Amino acid sequence: MPLAPKIIVATSNEHKLKEIKEIFNDFNVVGMSKDYIAPEETGHTFCENALIKAKSIEHLGEIVLADDSGIEVQALLGLPGIFSARYSGGNDYQNNQKLLEELKHHANRKARFVCCMVAIVNKKTISAEGILEGTIAFEPKGENGFGYDPIFIPSGFNQTLAELGSDIKNKISHRKKALEQIRKKIMEILK
């Protein structure tokens, strides 16, 4: 039986890595060590930032993968967008609180999660984008998730991603959609 292809992911985020491993389960997925410092995200889009991260670890393996993702809120003209992780200057809880505060006087609570995956496979660069539409809840709910999961209600559901849990999240998430597309492209290159 041949060895599973190795994918090195430009993240030390255990939550993100777990999600990628669950979806990319027939590959040997390896993240970065805890002391990994991601390069400065100077891009203007999720895909530009993902490419910066992928290029920063390109020398480590034949297949490297990076993503950039965040939440875009319609009433805030797409913010926090590429600034999602550092929106409040604090942690996930503070980011959620800032977003809820800014939406306090808005009736429009439409939002979407966006994920751009970039892979470099044998020196070829490929990308894929996934989107999950939904709305922002009025308060955080749920324990199963990270980032904005406790305040994001996906379209077609009445619970937050953090309430729905990883089984459902991994079936519908923006990251899963991007991973499925990037996986097809990786497999075509590896043929």
User: Which residues are part of the catalytic machinery?
Assistant: 68
Buried b (16+ CB within 10 A) or exposed e, 61-90: eebbbbbbbbbbbebbeebbbbebbebbee
CB-hemisphere CA count at 13 Å for 54?
27
Residue 11's DSSP bridge partners are: none
User: Which amino acid is located at 156 in the chain?
Assistant: G
Question: Dihedral sign, CA of 120, 122, 126, 131?
Answer: negative
Contacts of residue 85, defined as CB under 8 A and 6 or more positions apart, other chains included, come to 70, 95, 147
